[in-house]
């Protein structure tokens, strides 16, 4: 069987399982089975897949058919300009979160705090674009921090980033020019309607166990004490949360508040500046 035939066969199996990204996932899985990069697969379509690769694929395909996230199988996820190591201990980075990174890079800052850093994808993407900047990533999960630290080392950013175990601002006395966060914003009542893949991700990174706004109350309410005058707060939101989160920004004394949309045109980020 050729590589091309194996890709087609795999994609068909994924489509029958109801996976929308079947064609892309098939290429990723076959490339992994071959021990090659997905971008090089087009050059190998006419080659024989070989029994070893077919066995590897046979071992990993059932996981994806069972809706295990592709990133948990390949252990990597492309985000912004880099690949990040991903495991079930961290939230799978998603393209819509890149809207937060893009907006943060429009401003001027030297010190950035990432609350609930997970894989470190937001913080490390920002630091990679600002050679003189330094950052602190906090998380409540030691396993998440270990993944973030490994990603920082692999990207050559270890000397400009610190990782710290903390429940939001609990272990953070410093002030920053910029605070960013993608907090758990899914209401507990919404969890049952999520894609099957999300059942494999850490629950505390998805939901606050309440109405989806608890984390915003803590981080927006505490941000002023951890920003320099004129500092900026950027948070990712669910697409129906703009009014509620904006109201929290206003109540906390932030100014120049705005709501930014992702590439799908949905409300995705709320931004505000500390007075001064």
Residues 164-185: tens digit of each pLDDT: 999 999 999 999 999 999 999 9
* Domain ranges (residues) in the chain: 3-66, 76-274
Fold held by 76-274:
Rossmann fold (3.40.50)
The DSSP string of 11-60 is HHHHHHTT-TTHHHHHHHHHHHHHTS-GGGGGGGTTSB--HHHHHHHHHH
Model pLDDT, residue 209: 83
User: From CA 259, how far away is CA 242, in angstroms rounded?
Assistant: 7
The residue-averaged pLDDT of 262-275 equals 95
Nearest to 218 by CA among 108, 122, 140: 140
Per-residue pLDDT tens over the stretch 5-40: 999 999 999 999 999 999 999 999 999 999 999 889
Work out the pLDDT band at 74, boundaries 50, 70, 90. Answer: very high
Q: What's the average model confidence in pLDDT over 33-62? A: 94
Rounded to 5 degrees, φ, ψ at 82 are -140, 165
pLDDT, the chain, mean: 95
Q: Are 135 and 126 in contact (CB under 8 A)?
A: yes
Percent of the chain with pLDDT over 70: 100
- pLDDT-derived band at 141, boundaries 50, 70, 90: very high
Mean pLDDT over residues 260-265, rounded?
A: 92
pLDDT of residue 29: 97
Share of the chain above pLDDT 90, in %: 87
d(CA 2, CA 18): 25
CB 105 within 8 A of CB 84: no
pLDDT of 194 higher than 80: no
Residue 53 has pLDDT above 80, yes or no: yes
- For range 80-86, the mean pLDDT: 96
Write down the pLDDT at residue 50.
92
Q: Is the pLDDT of residue 198 over 90?
A: no
DSSP string for 137-167: EEES-HHHHHHHHHHHHHTT-GGGEEEEE-S
Place of tokens 């990432």: 114
Distances (CA, A) of 171 to 13, 34, 138, 185, 225: 48, 45, 9, 22, 13
DSSP state of 107: S
pTM beyond 0.85:
yes
pLDDT at 211 over 90: no
Contact call for residues 268 and 236 (beta carbons, < 8 A): yes
- The residue written with tokens 């994609």 in the block is 11
- Average pLDDT, stretch 259-270? 95
**Can you say whether residue 92 is alpha, beta or left, with left for phi > 0 and alpha for psi between -120 and 50 degrees?**
beta
């Amino acid at each position: 069987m050729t590589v091309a035939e194996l890709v087609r066969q795999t994609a068909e199996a994924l489509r029958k399982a109801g996976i929308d990204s079947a064609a892309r996932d098939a290429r990723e899985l076959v490339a992994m089975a071959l021990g090659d990069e997905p971008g090089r697969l087009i050059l190998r379509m006419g080659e024989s897949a070989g029994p070893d690769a077919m066995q590897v694929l046979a071992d990993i395909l059932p996981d994806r058919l069972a809706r295990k996230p592709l990133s948990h199988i390949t252990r990597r996820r492309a985000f912004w300009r880099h690949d990040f190591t991903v495991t079930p201990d961290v939230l799978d980075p998603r393209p819509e979160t890149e809207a937060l990174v893009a907006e943060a890079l429009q401003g001027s800052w030297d010190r950035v705090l990432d609350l609930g850093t997970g894989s470190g994808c937001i913080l490390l993407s920002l630091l990679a674009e600002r050679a003189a900047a330094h950052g602190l990533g906090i998380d409540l999960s030691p396993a998440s921090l270990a993944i973030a630290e490994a990603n920082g080392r692999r990207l050559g950013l270890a000397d400009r980033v610190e990782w710290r175990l903390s429940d939001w601002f609990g272990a953070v006395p410093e002030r920053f020019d910029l605070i960013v966060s993608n907090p758990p914003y899914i209401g507990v009542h919404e969890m049952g309607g999520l894609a099957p893949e999300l059942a494999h991700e850490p629950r505390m990174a998805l939901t606050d166990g309440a109405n989806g706004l608890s984390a915003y109350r803590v981080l927006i309410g505490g941000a002023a004490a951890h920003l320099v005058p004129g500092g900026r707060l950027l948070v990712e939101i669910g697409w129906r949360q703009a009014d509620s989160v904006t109201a929290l920004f206003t109540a906390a004394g932030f100014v120049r508040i705005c709501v930014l949309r992702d590439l799908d045109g949905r409300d995705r980020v709320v931004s505000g500046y500390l007075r001064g």
